[in-house]
Amino acid sequence: MAATIAHGWFSATDTNRRKIATSEPFWVRALLIALAVSFFGLFLLLPLGVVFAEAFKKGWAGYAAGVLNDDALSAIKLTLLVAAIAVPLHLVFGVAAAWAIAKFDFRGKQLLLSLIDLPFSVSPVVSGLIYVLLFGTQGWFGPLLADSNIKILFAVPGIVLATIFVTFPFVARELIPLMQAQGCDEEEAAVVLGASGWTIFRQVTLPNIKWGLLYGVILCNARAMGEFGAVSVVSGHIRGRTNTMPLQVEILYNEYNFAAAFAVASLLALLALVTLGIKRFVEWRLAASGKQQAFIERGQS
Amino acid sequence: MSITVSQINKRFGSFAALDDVSLEFPSGELVALLGPSGCGKTTLLRIIAGLEQADSGDVSLDGVDAAGMHVRERAVGFVFQHYALFRHMSVFDNVAFGLRVKNRDQRPSETEIRRKVTDLLTLVQLDWLADRYPSQLSGGQRQRIALARALAVEPKVLLLDEPFGALDAKVRKELRRWLRQLHDELHITSIFVTHDQEEALEVADRVVLMDHGRIEQIGTPDEVYDHPASPFVYGFLGSVNLFHGRVDGQSLRVGEHAIDLPSHDLANDAAAVGYVRPHELQLLPDDGKTQGGLPARVLRITSSGALASVELSRGEGEGEHLEVTVFRDTLRQLGVKEGDRVRLKPQRVQVFSAESAAPLLAA
């Protein structure tokens, strides 16, 4: 109440004066804006434009040829397959981990938190190497796998494993602070009212975290599809079999097949733009529910 | 439903939240668990609800041991300090939640649910808010909805954890009267936790005073206010004046003055503290004619409404501070002003040994 009155007081008398008091001369503003815009254009818009320009250099036909050949299509399929396995897994794991960490107290909670963060702090190349050391012919399980004729390294399972590793933290990291902030009150209220664990999760917890969850899934998906380093180490780069889209782009580029390389790259760029669009929307929803939350808290104090 | 807890112990790390607590809550009563924060009252309430596990001890509901009973089987209604309404559900859906999650064979039909929820919303006088969301309600409205939600499943016990703690003074006062009325209508066994002694004394049939995980006293509001069992209870239930002295037969020697004591079991010449409530000290002008009482000097007079609070100092200079509450009219008739010398006559004294009073004085 006091704040509103004070604010009204200032805005009535001092708006114009304050505008002058807090702004810079025209040329400083112009310079700063020009600097920011040219930086933005040079490092973001230009590269993005180049990707699409190069992709369409040989026209629609060239673009189609780059995207619709067998190797490219199999790379797209593999990328989608990897994401289709990794993302749902993290959806389940992320919710479970966040639930456990935010709503319960147990020994080793801090350790679990640090472990979830590990893939963020390790270079993707090292993440890939871990799997080479585990499953390679010289690795710990190499001989065992060779004997039973299971291929992990330089095959699809290796790519899936490496992707799962690098995308580990996204969903859980997004949910933990959100669930911690929400506390356990609503869940406790629900259990006292006779709801079963599954009902509580479905009707109370999930609706409260859905936007945060979607946000985490989007980030996780973007990374799963775009991951290069870790996947590159374990893939073996076998055309038409173990190449994901980022790896396919690299191979084509190294073969001076620029139009095809940029065509595949443009798909990834497109994916990024769509992701960004959805992310903006979800952030807006999150902010809306956050505002509602803030309103509730204000009401309580 | 009656509730019995016996020999409950609960520790959080090295902190003893409950220390061998045994209590009985008779059926149909409204009982207040009263104590300072950290005294274990909320923990006890949560253990009765089953939201917290005791380290040792038993809880029995209607004579049945609750150890093997899951929270959802205990048929308790719980009201949280911060309402804990489901924020993504409308008021109607919040109240209906407990009915809709029942097993299919016990679940009422949707028309039955609608009727029941409407009845409950009428009971809490908020039927016009059925379609709103919790974020659109005021604190007082939210707590009434939370109460309606708890009552929807027809609990045998109602547990309220500082239900009015987050509300402002005026709404709090309104709501506690309303809670008392509601209890008189429904006669459901209720336990509510509070740290506000006024609230406990005004609302409850019986008050349980707790401190440091132990029960200090149990009794009706009048009993605990008029006959506090310990210095802690005396100090916690409103302000009090202390007179340090030595026992001398049926009186307490305070310096060169004496205060008459009621019957007590303290030894002669034992160090003791006399407890007198501010309204039980009679204020008399020191005009030379007044006999007895303790001399004091008026420091400040503050008045609110019909009452005036007189701050006094005993002896010279700073001395010991005392507080007396009198009607403003009385004060006017006496003609006492700030700076005046007066004499104080205790109307009612309770005496405790100095050792038992020590922990309170240190706090």
Q: A208 vs B87: CB contact, 8 Å cut-off? A: yes
pLDDT tens, B158-180?
Answer: 999 999 888 888 888 888 888 89
> Residue B239 has which token pair?
């302000």
Would the pTM count as exceeding 0.90? no
Query: With a cut of 70, which residues of chain B have pLDDT below it?
Result: 290, 315-319, 358-363
Asked if B66 contacts B25 with a C-beta cutoff of 8 angstroms, the reply is no
Q: How many Å apart are CA A300 and CA B80, to the nearest integer?
A: 12
Q: Specify the pLDDT at position B7.
A: 93
Asked if B42 contacts B192 with a C-beta cutoff of 8 angstroms, the reply is no
Q: Which helix (H) or strand (E) holds B206?
A: strand B206-211
Question: How many angstroms separate the CA of residue B149 from the nearest CA in chain A?
Answer: 8
Question: How many angstroms separate the CA of residue A114 from the nearest CA in chain B?
Answer: 24
Q: How many Å apart are CA B207 and CA B193, to the nearest integer?
A: 10
Q: Which residues of B are less than 8 Å from A185 in CB distance?
A: 80, 82, 84
Tell me which residue in B78, B137, B139 faces A189 most closely, judged by beta carbons.
B78
Q: Specify the pLDDT at position B18.
A: 92
Distances (CA, A) of A41 to A38, A46, A274, A275, B302: 5, 6, 20, 20, 70
Lateral strand order in the sheet of B64-65: B15-25, B3-12, B56-61, B64-65
Q: Which residues of B are less than 8 Å from A207 in CB distance?
A: 88
What percentage of residues in chain A have a pLDDT greater than 90? 30
Q: Specify the pLDDT at position A89.
A: 94
Whether A190 has its CB under 8 Å from any CB of chain B: the answer is yes
Asked if A133 contacts A202 with a C-beta cutoff of 8 angstroms, the reply is no
Asked if B309 contacts B222 with a C-beta cutoff of 8 angstroms, the reply is no
Q: How many Å apart are CA B123 and CA B126, to the nearest integer?
A: 8
Strands B30-34 and B206-211: parallel
Whether A1 has its CB under 8 Å from any CB of chain B: the answer is no
Q: Specify the pLDDT at position A287.
A: 77
Cα nearest neighbour of A194 on chain B? B72
Query: With a cut of 70, which residues of chain A have pLDDT below it?
Result: 1-20, 289-301
Q: B72 vs A195: CB contact, 8 Å cut-off? A: yes
Amino acid identity for residue B283 in this structure: L
Q: Specify the pLDDT at position B150.
A: 93
**Interface subset of A 169-188, CB within 8 angstroms of B:** 185-186, 188
Q: B72 vs A295: CB contact, 8 Å cut-off? A: no
Beta bridge partners of B18: B10
Burial A272-297 (b: 16+ CB within 10 A, else e): eeebeebeeebeeebeebeebbeebe
Q: How many Å apart are CA B325 and CA B338, to the nearest integer?
A: 15
Q: Which residues of A are less than 8 Å from B105 in CB distance?
A: none
Q: Dihedrals φ, ψ of B112, to 5°?
A: -60, -45
Whether B69 has its CB under 8 Å from any CB of chain A: the answer is no
Whether A192 has its CB under 8 Å from any CB of chain B: the answer is yes
Length of chain A: 301
